[in-house]
Amino acid sequence: MQTKELHLTEKPYIHDNVELKNTQLGAFTEIGLYNFIENATLDDYSYTGQFCFIQNSKIGKFVNIAAKTRIGPTDHPYKRPSLHHFTYRKAMYGFGDRDDEQYLGERESRTTYIGHDAWIGHGAIIQPGISIGIGAIVGSGAVVTKDVPPYAIVVGVPAKVIKYRFSDDEIEALRRISWWDWSFETIKNRIDDFQLNIAEFIKLYDER
């Protein structure tokens, strides 16, 4: 990663061999080598590692996505006589001149949501229509089939909650602070405070 260039501009930094389809990127975003991203948004400061495959997803700010993750994988029509593409991509095989737009549209509508400051570990798979909460951690190799609460840590196949990063009161305080919505200058001026322990950080910025 060419960090010097990345940090000198708000423009998204896109590495080689990346394919983006109907995708919007926020400020300071970075897309790793050999990514395929379709029908997705990545908000400010979020980044992906190498070989990620992301579809039909809305990704918040400051999201950390490790290499070889799969987010929002599309389904096959398993209730039909055949699972194969030819049942909904007829034109590709010469079986007709129109694809099954209804099925393709339903599949695209199953949006996956990744909350601000979440961390998606290496090789994780997050199924379509799942929501990952703010600040959550998805362990390496996990397969996420259910929504993940904010600041939870999930691991395994299927993924299960093993602990929370902070107490309930601390989580609520962080959500009130919503530091991920601070401006660039505010974060810059307070950058050292992100090295404080959670209690000290909350004491500084929770105005309740």
pLDDT tens, position by position, for the chain (208 residues)? 445 455 567 999 999 999 999 999 999 999 999 999 999 999 999 999 999 999 999 999 999 999 999 999 988 888 889 989 888 888 889 898 888 888 888 888 889 999 999 999 999 999 999 999 999 999 999 999 999 999 999 999 999 999 999 999 999 999 999 999 999 999 999 999 999 999 999 999 998 6
The alpha carbon of 54 is separated from its chain's Cα centroid by a whole number of angstroms, namely 8
3-class DSSP assignment, residue 113: strand
What the chain holds in terms of domains, given with CATH numbers, is 1-74+111-165 (2.160.10.10), 76-109 (no CATH), 166-208 (no CATH)
- Catalytic residues, by residue number, are 76
pTM of the model: 0.90
Q: How far apart are CA 30 and CA 134, in angstroms?
A: 20
Q: How far apart are CA 156 and CA 124, in angstroms?
A: 10
Of the candidates 125, 109, 122, which has an alpha carbon nearest to the alpha carbon of residue 58?
109
